[in-house]
């Protein structure tokens, strides 16, 4: 009975930015827990390859290509999917980007792209999916935040601002939508070995610093985010709302 609380059989999950990295790992994990996953991205070739890889493992995987920063495009894609395929029970807002340079030199256009990709996309996709969830009086929304929701590091101030916004938008979603039966929470990864962090992973000095700074003493593996996602996507988290779950090897817990 206890394990049944984490069963995702019969559900459908949309994961944005899921052709690689954290998004792909989370989609693969939800599929293994029984969910039909819907992969999203702008690069249709990468998306098709990712979906094919999942299907080869026996997973049920679909593709839904749209630009998460395009409000009208998102609304149209989600509405069409709901009408012609079926309900989206779980949404993971994972689409994101990074840009690194000192704040005094940070390009204005890069700042705007960060806002659109990391914050506006959460609003656009979250709203489009939530409207259908509200009608059904149930749904799970999981936003991908970051340790930078709580901490800052040199060279990424605008990214830090966007991830702080994701955490507070998550609280706002819960405040507005919990009364309709929705659970809206966030996962805040620490430093994980992904394509987004490739430059840092390849930097011996940074990796040495990170290993000393993180109580667990290492980079995270993307598979270590799957348990948190399954928990927040499953009936086990039925009374968890507006929460940000840090999966960070202890980096936010220590000086």
Q: Which residues are catalytic?
A: 159
Read off the pTM.
Answer: 0.97
For residue 218, the number of C-alpha atoms closer than 13 Å in the C-beta half-sphere is 5
pLDDT tens, position by position, 187-205: 999 999 988 788 899 999 9
How open is the CA angle 173-34-92, to the nearest 5 degrees? 25
Contact (Cβ atoms closer than 8 angstroms) between residue 69 and residue 121: yes
pLDDT tens, position by position, 78-118: 999 999 999 999 999 999 999 999 999 999 999 999 999 99
Contact (Cβ atoms closer than 8 angstroms) between residue 33 and residue 7: yes
- What domains does the chain contain, in order, with CATH numbers? 3-248 (3.40.50.720)
Contact (Cβ atoms closer than 8 angstroms) between residue 237 and residue 6: no
212's CB contacts (< 8 A; 6+ apart) are: none
pLDDT tens, position by position, 47-62: 999 999 999 999 999 9
């Amino acid at each position: 009975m206890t394990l049944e609380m984490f069963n995702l059989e019969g559900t459908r999950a949309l994961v944005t930015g899921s052709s690689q990295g954290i998004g792909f790992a989370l989609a693969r994990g939800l599929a293994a827990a029984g969910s039909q996953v819907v992969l999203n991205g702008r690069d249709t070739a990468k998306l098709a390859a990712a979906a094919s890889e999942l299907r080869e493992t026996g997973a049920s995987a679909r593709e839904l290509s749209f630009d998460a920063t395009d409000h009208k495009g998102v609304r149209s894609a989600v509405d069409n999917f709901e009408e012609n395929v079926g309900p989206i029970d779980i949404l993971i807002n994972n689409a994101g980007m990074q840009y690194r340079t000192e704040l005094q030199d940070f390009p204005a256009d890069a700042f705007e792209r960060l806002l659109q990709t990391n914050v506006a996309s959460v609003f656009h996709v979250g709203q489009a999916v939530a409207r259908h969830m509200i009608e059904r009086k149930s749904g799970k929304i999981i936003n991908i935040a970051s340790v930078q929701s709580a901490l800052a590091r040199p060279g990424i101030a605008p990214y830090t601002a966007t991830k702080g916004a994701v955490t507070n938008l998550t609280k706002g979603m819960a405040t507005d939508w919990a009364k309709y039966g929705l659970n809206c929470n966030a996962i805040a990864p620490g430093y994980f070995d992904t394509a987004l962090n490739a430059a840092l992973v390849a930097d011996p000095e940074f990796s040495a610093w990170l290993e000393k700074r993180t109580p667990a003493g290492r980079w995270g593996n993307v598979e270590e985010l799957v348990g948190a996602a399954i928990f927040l996507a499953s009936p086990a988290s039925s009374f968890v709302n507006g929460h940000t779950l840090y999966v960070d090897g202890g980096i936010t817990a220590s000086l």
